[in-house]
Amino acid sequence: MRLFDSADEMFTAQSYPATTTDLIEAHGHLTLELPNGSETIADVLGRLTEETYDTENEARLAAYSAVSQKGIGRKGYSDRDPIAMGEDGPDQVSF
């Protein structure tokens, strides 16, 4: 499931070009359900400077970049990257 499934229609239905303010005014009330809570589109886009988005994809990528830590799973978790030498990392967990 993609992070913005609940807002996909919003990005698609919006006419472009659109500004950050346009998106907040039209869709700010929409709630995104995130792995560790929820945020509204207004919360997310309110973290950005005023921009003009020419396409749906530009607006969606800007929103992805502004999601808080509620949008990530386990903070600091990676099953691929080893901890760098000299750094303390999370204890290994065996399932």
pLDDT tens per residue across span 23-80: 999 999 988 888 778 899 999 999 999 999 999 999 989 988 888 777 666 666 666 6
SS3 34: strand
Domain range for 66 = 5-70
Q: Is 14 inside a domain boundary?
A: yes
pTM of the model as a whole: 0.69
Distance CA 40, CA 25 (A): 12
Asked if residue 18 has pLDDT above 90, the reply is: yes
Rounded CA-CA distance 80/74 in Å is 14
CA proximity to 23, closest of 2, 52, 1: 52
Confirm whether 51 is domain-assigned.
yes
- Number of folded domains in the chain? 1
Q: Is it the case that residue 1 has pLDDT exceeding 50?
A: no
Tokens at residue 57, please? Answer: 């994809």
Task: Give the model's confidence band at 83: pLDDT under 50 very low, under 70 low, under 90 confident, else very high.
Answer: low
Asked if 34 and 43 touch (Cβ cutoff 8 Å), the reply is no
Rounded distance between C-alpha atoms, residue 84 and residue 56, angstroms: 38
pLDDT at 82 (0 to 100)? 67
